[in-house]
Amino acid sequence: MKGKKVIVLLLSIAIIACSVFVAVKGIGSKEIGGANKVKLGLDLAGGVSITYTTVKEGPSDKDIKDTVYKLRKRIDEKGYTEGEVYREGSNRINVDIPGVTDANKVLEELGKPGKLEFIGPDDVVILSGEDVKDANAKIVEGEVDPYIIALEFNKEGKQKFAEATKKFIGQRISIVYNGKSIMDPVVNQAIPDGNATISNMGSLERAEDMAANIRIGALPLELQELRSNVVGAKLGKAAVDTSVKAGFIGICIILLFMIIIYRIPGLAADIALVFYSALIVIILSLFNLTLTLPGIAGIILSIGMAVDANVIIFSRIREELALEKTLRASVKAGFKKATSAILDGNITTLIASVILFVMGTGPIKGFAQTLAIGIIISMFTALVVTRIILSAFVGIGIKNKKLYGIAHKTRSFKIVDKRKVWFSISLVVILIGLISMPVFNASKGTPLEYDIEFSGGTTTLVTIGKEMTPEEASKELGDLVIEATGDTSPQFQAVKGKGQVIIKTKDIDTEKRIALEKKLVEKYEITTEDIQSESISATISDEMKRDAIISVIVAAICMLIYITLRFKDYRFGVSAVVALIHDILVVLAIYALFRVPINNSFIAAMLTIVGYSINDTIVLFDRVRENQKYMKRGDFKGVVDTSISQTMSRSIYTSLTTFIMVAVLYILGVASIQEFALPLMVGILSGTYSSIFVASPLWYLFKRKEGIKIQKAHQSR
């Protein structure tokens, strides 16, 4: 038996070691499954992302497909082979081009798809962009000015152009793009074959630019830019480096913590956690999943939450050992009794991540994706891998119970008796936040600090290499920003410890954005790789506000349904959701009081808090459900207080490990990650507080009311 366990342990460690090697180095010359082959999103690799909408309402599928095809061809022609063009919804098209060194150059080359018209000298539209098949710059050898544009029209355009050129010989036909004339060549002769040239372009660069504008205008549909995001490669690399560093430090702290607190079981959990981390990397790499900055946050958060399952199991093992059971029986019983709480808690968090993935956009989908993967893998490593390793440790002869920890006599906490105090504390915190909103609305114009995702506009993050307060930034950069953008009231934020400044303006077009970046490059002697910018229209921001509210409501309803069905008592579900709403309001109070920007991270943070809060509450409720079988009938107060006392250490340890991961992320992370991490830290503390001091006493009140009704019914008989 001992020999078999030795083999199992060695085999497990070998498999985990191989997994770590694959995650770090990959397999073969192509490094299959390795970290180097993980596909990075634009916010990590640098690049440009644009979302267009069609001006025409209700475009046909054919027009959308044709437009996507032509945009893709255009990107391929420019040599951006990694670029993607894809449809979103019924009338939107996304263009993503990662890894480019000069993202603004891409925007200039791609241009802003708009309306192209050929207008005759009598101001009548002769042709539109739909009539143009192609336009290319060419060089004609032997000419004084050899640079020309070769135009090709489709079947319909050929006939229209033939009639127009015959009619307007010796006159000019204006080529108008987005209402502005870009050139007005003279018609020298009638052109019946649909192939024309525009000469005297002056330079190859001008010929290419004009040809590009004609090709862009020749798209089947007129497009309008809704959103664009430009990330410098340097900033992307910095985001990867700091996030990986934060994750590594956080994991090391947790590994050490688990061994100190849980000894041999902690060592088993650490080995499983290393395996967990390697599996995350391998899955991302093998399935070509795009890793975004919020995605890294999802992984780091899920690592902190992965520890929770092990903490629940080990707490149960200690309790079994305290009953003087054998070590082998205690391990077996510990896993068995912990399984339901682990499954219920993780499934509710999984519900939040699925809703976030379905209703979220762009990077938020990346966060939801990695969080969901992390949850699934954590359940596997905790319930299967940790169990195999821990059983092997027992089997090879490590049987000193002191190395596994024995639960001491549980200290009794009288939580229910002081419920009015706990409810009052929550009420005061929430009221402070709610009252601050109208106060800020009167003084600052908005109840919350809406970022561009929720208000529309352009934000530019620039690394200037020196610390600066918002007031100093406004004084030093105010005139420069106003001159470049035309926005007379720009806002400035400083990123502490990073030497970065965030500039917020109204929604500006590509030309003004590039003008601002050029001035910043000249002033601070930096490159465009040190600058990141994002523009969002009011249309997108309105949708995000709506989706944020709907996402939280849908998540709460789904969780309420699941908990009610799982616990077969609606009071558990209602109490859990009230605690969840409590956490949302507490975090909202922090957003209001500290003017934390409301942006994409807000949606992800809120739904993560929803999942985390419910997870914590369910673990406690699982113990309440179990204790009801053994407690005196009608002693709901005793059931709640006993359950809280039994799970208090678990709640503290789990919150501490998750908090550590997020805190390290906050300290070391880039600006956007810090905005995400701050409310999460508050949410973790609030979630732990609400499960103990809000949800449990509330369940007691519901059950006591039920008991009184039953008692009265018996008395009336």
Q: What is the pTM of this model?
A: 0.73
In which region does residue 445 sit, left (phi positive, over 0), alpha (psi from -120 to 50) or beta (all else)? left
Q: Across residues 286-313, what is the average pLDDT?
A: 80
Distance of CA 667 to the CA centre of its chain: 19
Residue 674 and residue 546 in one domain: yes
The C-alpha atoms of residue 392 and residue 388 are separated, in whole angstroms, by 6
The closest alpha carbon to 658, from 675, 694, 676, 683, belongs to 683
Half-sphere exposure of 668 (CA within 13 A, CB side): 21
Residue 24 and residue 101 in one domain: no
Better-scored residue on pLDDT, 715 or 47? 47
Give me the pLDDT at residue 439, please.
92
Give me the pLDDT at residue 75, please.
80
pLDDT at 135 over 90: no
Domain containing residue 462: CATH number: 3.30.70.600
Model confidence band, residue 107 (pLDDT cutoffs 50, 70, 90): low
Q: Across residues 408-428, what is the average pLDDT?
A: 89
pLDDT (tens digit, 9 = 90+) per residue, 666-696? 888 777 677 778 888 888 889 899 999 999 9
Tokens representing 666 are 């906050």
pLDDT at 712 over 70: no
Domain containing residue 585: CATH number: 1.20.1640.10
Give me the pLDDT at residue 567, please.
81
Report yes or no on 170 lying in a domain: yes
Better-scored residue on pLDDT, 78 or 422? 422
Residue 258 and residue 191 in one domain: no
Domain containing residue 52: CATH number: 3.30.70.3400
Residue 505 and residue 598 in one domain: no
Better-scored residue on pLDDT, 294 or 204? 204
Residue 466 and residue 551 in one domain: no
Give me the pLDDT at residue 21, please.
94
3-state SS, residue 223 = strand
pLDDT at 48 over 70: yes
3-state SS, residue 240 = helix
Q: Give yes or no for a contact between 201 and 210, defined as CB atoms under 8 angstroms apart.
A: yes
Give me the pLDDT at residue 237, please.
76
Burial of 343 by CB count in 10 Å (0-12 exposed, 13-18 middle, 19+ buried)?
middle
Q: Across residues 501-508, what is the average pLDDT?
A: 85
pLDDT (tens digit, 9 = 90+) per residue, 519-536? 999 999 888 888 888 887
Report yes or no on 447 lying in a domain: no
Model confidence band, residue 353 (pLDDT cutoffs 50, 70, 90): confident
3-state SS, residue 113 = coil
pLDDT at 315 over 70: yes
Q: What is the dihedral of CA 395, 399, 401, 404, to 10 degrees?
A: -50
pLDDT at 108 over 70: no
pLDDT (tens digit, 9 = 90+) per residue, 55-102? 888 888 878 887 887 788 778 767 777 788 888 878 888 888 877 766
Q: Alpha carbon of 381 to those of 273, 316, 525: distances in Å?
A: 7, 17, 50
Mean pLDDT for the chain overall:
84
pLDDT at 232 over 80: no
Residue 621 and residue 485 in one domain: no
Question: CA 267, 270, 276, 282 torsion: positive or negative?
Answer: negative
Q: Enumerate the β-bridge partners of residue 93.
A: 52, 87
The C-alpha atoms of residue 225 and residue 537 are separated, in whole angstroms, by 8
Model confidence band, residue 711 (pLDDT cutoffs 50, 70, 90): low
Residue 322 and residue 390 in one domain: yes
Give me the pLDDT at residue 340, please.
87
Length of the chain: 717
Residue 78 and residue 155 in one domain: no
* Pairing state between β 39-40 and 290-291: parallel
Better-scored residue on pLDDT, 43 or 202? 202
Give me the pLDDT at residue 656, please.
87
Give me the pLDDT at residue 330, please.
92
Model confidence band, residue 649 (pLDDT cutoffs 50, 70, 90): confident
Distance of CA 616 to the CA centre of its chain: 22
Report yes or no on 419 lying in a domain: no
Of the residues 108, 140, 156, which one is the last residue of a structural domain?
A: 108
Q: Across residues 187-196, what is the average pLDDT?
A: 92
How much of the chain exceeds pLDDT 70, in percent? Answer: 91
pLDDT at 242 over 70: yes
Q: Enumerate the β-bridge partners of residue 532.
A: 231, 461
Give me the pLDDT at residue 456, please.
76
Report yes or no on 427 lying in a domain: no
Radius of gyration over every alpha carbon of the chain, rounded to an integer in angstroms = 31
Model confidence band, residue 386 (pLDDT cutoffs 50, 70, 90): very high
Of the residues 79, 108, 137, which one is the last residue of a structural domain?
A: 108
Give me the pLDDT at residue 697, please.
94
| Least confident segment among 96-110, 293-307, 575-589 | 96-110
Domain containing residue 177: CATH number: 3.30.1360.200
Of the residues 82, 108, 134, which one is the last residue of a structural domain?
A: 108
Tokens representing 691 are 């499960």
One DSSP character per residue, 531-580 reads EEEEEE-HHHHHHHHHHHHHHHHHHHHHHHHHHHHHHT-HHHHHHHHHHH
Number of domains the chain contains = 5
Residue 86 and residue 198 in one domain: no
Residue 606 and residue 676 in one domain: yes
595 DSSP assignment: T
Report yes or no on 228 lying in a domain: no
Residue 95 and residue 122 in one domain: no
Report yes or no on 639 lying in a domain: yes
Report yes or no on 176 lying in a domain: yes
pLDDT at 220 over 90: no
pLDDT at 163 over 80: yes
Give me the pLDDT at residue 363, please.
60
Better-scored residue on pLDDT, 103 or 39? 39
pLDDT at 287 over 60: yes
Residue 547 and residue 693 in one domain: yes
* Other CB atoms within 10 Å distance of the CB of residue 46: 26
pLDDT (tens digit, 9 = 90+) per residue, 560-590? 788 888 888 888 888 988 998 899 899 888 8
Report yes or no on 178 lying in a domain: yes
Q: Give yes or no for a contact between 639 and 624, defined as CB atoms under 8 angstroms apart.
A: yes
Model confidence band, residue 104 (pLDDT cutoffs 50, 70, 90): low
Q: Alpha carbon of 636 to those of 421, 628, 700: distances in Å?
A: 19, 8, 6
Q: Which domain holds residue 142?
A: 116-218
Q: What is the dihedral of CA 531, 284, 281, 600, to 10 degrees?
A: 40
